[in-house]
């Protein structure tokens, strides 16, 4: 790899992504791959910390990979791979486990939230989720980790584990830094615009999936919640619905918020919502076409998976070999 800084991020193979994921994170990944050596990982090992149906998980892994490719992640520029195909992740997780504290993992807010869903029998894997994530990041001597702010605590743990390990055994890991979607937008629900847009929203009108039918998309925007005024003006505090739509329109069209306010001055919300819906549908349509084409080409997807897992493994192994030596494993 060329001498550029290293960017690493992971995404769960959930199958559907929203325009919030796209405008907030993945669009940024596509840009990052020109300036960094980037690795993007479909984290199926993280997925099984919650109950999964095997066939669904496998299908969604293909779908997620196809969607990332369709969005513009270029497997010539980035290493786009599936976590479980690179066994170094599991092995480093074990070694890091032996240096992680029960106390620090117990404080993870995501664990506390998700543990409630597992009732009495909370899985060890769920508890260990952040250590696996630390292994992902540390294996590649990552400089920057672009993530949503909900992952701040996990990246912090990765840093702590890196520093602790380096102090105990000598320098092996680069200490990574989180970057929080600087140019990424924060897209809110279309129905409750003070809440983040989420694909697990029970109200299907609240979010736009990247796989929604274009007609459906326009319809959802028509139903988007606004306010009782008529002015298209950016004011997150007092006009969260309209501001969110403006932000989405800005992402989809490239226009500035000022230009958007100008464009719709005196026009009312109906027209505005229609334009936003059409702009989003137009952005997504080519992605959907490419996605369908790729999904039908399983051979190609599998070739990408194989080649990139190999490329990832080569880098990961360099780190793991050092770690194994430091902790006293025999190598012959």
Applying CB under 6 A, the residues found at the interface with ligand TRP are 8-12, 43, 46, 133, 136-137, 145, 147, 151, 154
Taking the complex as a whole, how short is the minimal distance between the CB of residue 144 and ligand TRP, in angstroms? 10
Nearer to ligand TRP, 155 or 245 (CB): 155
The torsion angles phi and psi of 38, rounded to 5 degrees, stand at -115, 145
* Residues annotated as part of the active site: 114, 196, 199
Taking the complex as a whole, how short is the minimal distance between the CB of residue 147 and ligand TRP, in angstroms? 5
Nearer to ligand TRP, 147 or 250 (CB): 147
- Nearest residue to the partner ligand TRP, using Cβ: 10
Taking the complex as a whole, how short is the minimal distance between the CB of residue 146 and ligand TRP, in angstroms? 8
Taking the complex as a whole, how short is the minimal distance between the CB of residue 41 and ligand TRP, in angstroms? 6
Nearer to ligand TRP, 146 or 277 (CB): 146
Cα 29–Cα 34–Cα 39 angle in degrees, nearest 5: 50
What is the spatial distance between Cα 176 and Cα 158, in angstroms, rounded to a whole number?
8
Taking the complex as a whole, how short is the minimal distance between the CB of residue 218 and ligand TRP, in angstroms? 29
Nearer to ligand TRP, 93 or 189 (CB): 93
What is the spatial distance between Cα 155 and Cα 149, in angstroms, rounded to a whole number?
10
Nearer to ligand TRP, 137 or 281 (CB): 137
Nearer to ligand TRP, 10 or 240 (CB): 10
> Cα 219 vs. chain centroid, distance in angstroms?
27
Taking the complex as a whole, how short is the minimal distance between the CB of residue 328 and ligand TRP, in angstroms? 27
């Amino acid at each position: 790899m060329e001498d550029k800084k290293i960017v690493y991020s992971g995404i769960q193979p959930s199958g559907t992504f929203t325009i919030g994921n796209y405008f907030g994170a993945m669009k940024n990944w596509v840009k990052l791959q020109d300036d960094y050596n980037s690795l993007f990982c479909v984290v199926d090992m993280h997925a099984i910390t919650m109950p999964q149906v095997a066939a669904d998980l496998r299908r969604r892994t293909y779908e997620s990979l196809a969607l990332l490719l369709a969005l513009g992640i270029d497997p010539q520029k980035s290493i786009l791979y599936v976590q479980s195909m690179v066994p170094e992740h599991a092995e480093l997780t074990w070694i890091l486990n032996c240096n992680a504290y029960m106390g620090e993992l117990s404080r993870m807010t995501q664990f506390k939230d998700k543990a409630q869903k597992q009732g009495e029998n909370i899985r060890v894997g769920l508890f260990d989720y952040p250590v696996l994530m630390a292994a992902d990041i540390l294996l590649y001597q990552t400089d920057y980790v672009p993530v949503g702010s909900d992952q701040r605590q996990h990246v912090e743990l990765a840093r702590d584990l890196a520093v602790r390990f380096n102090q105990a055994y000598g320098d092996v890991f680069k200490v990574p830094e989180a970057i929080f979607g600087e140019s990424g937008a924060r897209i809110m629900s279309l129905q409750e615009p003070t809440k983040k847009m989420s694909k697990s929203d029970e109200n299907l009108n609240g979010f736009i999936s990247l796989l929604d039918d274009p007609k459906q998309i326009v319809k959802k925007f028509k139903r988007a919640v606004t306010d009782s005024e008529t002015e298209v003006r950016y004011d997150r505090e007092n006009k969260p619905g309209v501001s969110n739509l403006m932000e989405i329109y800005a992402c989809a069209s490239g226009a500035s918020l000022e230009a958007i306010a100008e464009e719709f001055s005196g026009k009312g919300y109906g027209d505005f919502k229609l334009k936003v819906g059409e702009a989003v549908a137009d952005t997504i349509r080519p992605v959907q076409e490419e996605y369908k084409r790729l999904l039908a080409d399983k051979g190609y997807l599998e070739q990408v998976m194989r080649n990139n897992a190999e490329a990832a493994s080569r880098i990961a192994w360099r780190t793991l070999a050092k770690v194994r030596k430091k902790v006293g494993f025999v190598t012959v």
